[in-house]
Amino acid sequence: SLAMAGSILGAGLLYGEGIITPAISVLSAMEGLEVATKAAAPVVLPATCIVLFFLFFFQHRGTGDIGKIFGPVMLVWFGALAALGLGQIIQHPRILLAIHPIYAYEFFAANKLESIVVFGSVVLCITGCEALYADLGHFGRKAIRLSWVSLVYPALLCNYFGQSALLLGQPEMSANPFYGCVPRPLLYPMVGLATIATVIASQALISGVFSLSRQAIALGFSPRMQIVHTSPEVEGQIYLPRVNYALMIACLGVAIAFRSSSGLAGAYGLSVTGTMCITSTLFFLLTSRIWGWSLWRSIPLVALFLIFDLSYFGANLLKVVERGWFILLVATTLASFMTT
């Protein structure tokens, strides 16, 4: 059926995202060393591989134990994001005018079809946010809504406005505006904090892949594998050794092959936007067939989602030739594996 085919392809894309997310996240954090000193360039890739190895090596401890460390670190991380952004906004407050949609209209009107290329890059500002919902089963709706509205969303807005404000005054920092916002004496501590934060962000996708694999086994789309329950209280906290080490090998291979976060950007954007499109389509099938909503109620809501999802996905299709083909290869291979 359409729902089954979409679910399997979406699962393949999510597996691909689970491979790419740790690699691109840790690489982008480590690249801050190059901002501090060009002499650190040869160290970026080996350091990334070491961090990725230990990330997967400690997965057997379970998300509950790991989460006790992660929580306070993320509070510091988002606080730092907001502070860095606000510092730049204060220096260039006119960046807040960007809230007005007329500037977006003028940009598209002036650049026409060429603006789609930029649209494909802008989507990277929202990728990663969806990982917050990968742990929905672990924490519940209230905790995730509270953390998003009160902390994550405001901090991200401040930081993105801050990066844009920086570029108004120093356009030469366009190669890495995030680290351009960091005062020079704090550069090395920020690289360390960013690395820890990206490891935590990767954890959400790894946990999601574990949950997805468990569901695939239960539905008969995967061979049976050992599933270790890491928490005596929470049923959803699990660890799959085979999946974990397969992911580790894949992540290390991707990091070594692509060598930079910019090299992975095309594949990453394609995997996230492709998953978004499939999720919205499956949501329509859920509301109309399972929940019994009428079409006049289901279609407008799903159409609103798909306007954004398809726009971003279409823009990222331009990156298929720029290594975006990799994620399509991974998704179709895994989808074929699950249907065989």
Q: How does DSSP assign 87-144, residue by residue? A: HHHHH-GGGGGGGSTHHHHHHHHHHGGGHHHHHHHHGGGTTTGGGGGGGHHHH-HHHH
Q: Summarize pLDDT for 153-187 with one digit per residue, the tens.
A: 999 999 999 999 999 989 988 888 998 999 988 88
Q: How far apart are CA 107 and CA 296, in angstroms?
A: 34
- Residues 8/339, Cβ–Cβ less than 8 Å: yes
Q: What is the pLDDT of residue 230?
A: 78
- Residues 201/133, Cβ–Cβ less than 8 Å: no
Question: Higher confidence at residue 233 or residue 96?
Answer: 96
Sequence letter at residue 115? S
Under DSSP, the state recorded for 269 is H
Q: What is the pLDDT of residue 70?
A: 76
Give the contacts of 262 (CB within 8 A, at least 6 positions apart).
none
Which has the closest alpha carbon to 200: 70, 35, 333?
70
**pLDDT over threshold 90, residue 326:** no
> What is residue 176's three-state secondary structure?
coil
Which has the closest alpha carbon to 314: 269, 263, 279?
269
Which has the closest alpha carbon to 130: 272, 24, 253?
272
**pLDDT over threshold 80, residue 236:** no
Q: Summarize pLDDT for 256-281 with one digit per residue, the tens.
A: 988 888 778 878 888 888 888 998 99
Question: Higher confidence at residue 278 or residue 135?
Answer: 278
Q: How far apart are CA 166 and CA 180, in angstroms?
A: 8
Q: What is the pLDDT of residue 247?
A: 93
Q: How far apart are CA 183 and CA 310, in angstroms?
A: 39
Assigned token pair, 28? 């982008």
Give the contacts of 85 (CB within 8 A, at least 6 positions apart).
155, 157, 158, 159, 160, 161, 162, 163, 165, 181
Assigned token pair, 117? 């290329």
pLDDT-derived band at 93 (thresholds 50, 70, 90) equals: very high
Assigned token pair, 163? 């990066």
